[in-house]
């Protein structure tokens, strides 16, 4: 008795981009944002008290350096990262916008 191997059927086809969509995207390149632009972090539903987790993989040497800072300063590892990261993110957002 020979059993035929079943092939899985695609459940959906990939969405094809229309040329008009691509042209509209390209037309917006290099344009500046208007004063009315609302950034994702400025949306009314975004709350400062909600914390989100992201996985962060550090090389062991960097982790040990961070731990050393936490052991020898008033900072925790988390507060040190947040303080420095916020500065860099704000600088990058300023550069982008």
How confident is the model over 23-75, as pLDDT tens digits?
776 776 666 666 678 899 999 999 999 999 999 999 999 999 999 999 999 99
Residue 16 has pLDDT above 70, yes or no: no
CA distances from 74 to 8, 65, 68 (A): 57, 15, 11
**Whether 70 contacts 77, CB under 8 Å:** yes
Top pLDDT among 65 and 1 is at 65
Q: What pLDDT score was predicted for residue 69?
A: 97
Q: Which two tokens stand for residue 47?
A: 């709350």
Question: From CA 50, how far away is CA 36, in angstroms rounded?
Answer: 25
pLDDT given for residue 12 in this prediction: 64
């Amino acid at each position: 008795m020979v059993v035929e191997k079943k092939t899985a059927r695609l459940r959906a086809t990939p969405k094809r981009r229309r040329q008009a969509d691509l042209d509209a995207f390209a037309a917006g390149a290099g344009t500046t944002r208007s004063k009315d632009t609302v950034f994702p972090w400025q949306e009314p539903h975004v709350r400062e008290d909600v914390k989100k987790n992201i996985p962060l993989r550090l090389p062991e040497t960097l982790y040990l350096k961070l731990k050393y800072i936490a052991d020898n300063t008033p900072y925790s590892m988390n507060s040190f990262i947040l303080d420095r990261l916020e500065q860099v993110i704000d600088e990058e957002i300023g550069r982008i916008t």
